[in-house]
Amino acid sequence: MIRRWTPLLLAAGLLAGACGGGDDQTVLVLAASSLTDAFGEMEVAFEQANPGVDVDVSFAASSALRLQIDQGAPADVVAVANEAVMTELAGEGHVAVPTVFATNELVIAAPVDGSASISGAESLADPGLLVGLCAVQVPCGQYASEALALAGIEPEVDTFESDVRSLTTKLAIGELDVGVVYATDAASRPDDIEVIGPLDGADVRYPIAPLMDAPHAENAAAFIAFVLSDEGRAVMEAAGFGTP
């Protein structure tokens, strides 16, 4: 079950106090690729609040992060774009109590300088357009597949990308006419990507949790507490994420 952390647990990992002991002042974070910009800012903000602590963030599709953890990759914290992935990690005994810390939306997106006329979700079914989605194995693809099925749209897909950042890049440089990405990824390239409209039907929620065998457990608790703090929430909101 995905739950919020209690105030007592948050207090146990408060920022500099939690990071004050030990010789290895590091926190290893695995994060979904759609968190790249937000957690880049989070890394800077946390390190400024905790001098001497080094945050090392690795980004990949949520399904790839789960595989890395299954294979024993060292990590202190994991943040994914799908509650089902986190529930599986918890069921396998990899993570402690998770909490949802952000939300997102799917949007229909197209290149700003694209020559194709894009009307909305229906354009994804146009065989005359170059259409891109994330692979269904990763959250952005799963969410898009479910939302399009709910809308009764069968897309004519030319490429299934391994993560949302790859898909966003292909849209931004004009290799595709239209695709489905997260609102935050589209917003990260405002000069290159035009949002045509939302794709309703997806409940995109991001859980975060410490690893059960975290090598830097106190630092993991401190980092998560920071993400859930007012300052951390401000970082997420500035990147376009919603609050749960």
Find the mean pLDDT for residues 217-244. 96
Clarify whether residues 113 and 234 are in a common domain. no
Tokens, residue 216: 């830097």
Clarify whether residues 215 and 187 are in a common domain. no
Split at pLDDT 50, 70, 90, the class of 4 is very low
Split at pLDDT 50, 70, 90, the class of 36 is very high
Clarify whether residues 226 and 161 are in a common domain. no
Name beta bridge partners: 160: 133
Q: Which residues have C-beta within 8 Å of that of residue 150, sequence separation ≥ 6? A: 201
CATH number of the domain that residue 227 is part of: 3.40.190.10
Clarify whether residues 114 and 185 are in a common domain. yes
In a domain, 243, yes or no: no
* pLDDT value for 96: 87
Cβ-based burial of 27 (10 A; exposed 0-12, middle 13-18, buried ≥19): buried
By residue range, what is the domain housing residue 46? 7-103+204-238
Taking only the tens place, the pLDDT of each residue in 179-226 is 999 999 999 999 999 999 999 999 999 999 999 999 999 999 999 999
Indicate the residue type of 21.
G
* pLDDT value for 114: 81
Instruction: Name the average pLDDT for the chain.
Output: 90
Clarify whether residues 171 and 210 are in a common domain. no
* Number of domains into which the chain is organized: 2
Indicate the residue type of 157.
V
In a domain, 172, yes or no: yes
In a domain, 2, yes or no: no
Q: Residue 18: pLDDT above 90?
A: no
Clarify whether residues 190 and 217 are in a common domain. no
- Tell which residue, 201, 184, 188, 173, has the closest CA to residue 110: 173
Clarify whether residues 124 and 42 are in a common domain. no
Tokens, residue 202: 């997806």
Q: Residue 9: pLDDT above 80?
A: no
In a domain, 149, yes or no: yes
Clarify whether residues 128 and 193 are in a common domain. yes
Taking only the tens place, the pLDDT of each residue in 121-160 is 999 999 999 999 999 999 999 999 999 999 999 999 999 9
Clarify whether residues 11 and 98 are in a common domain. yes
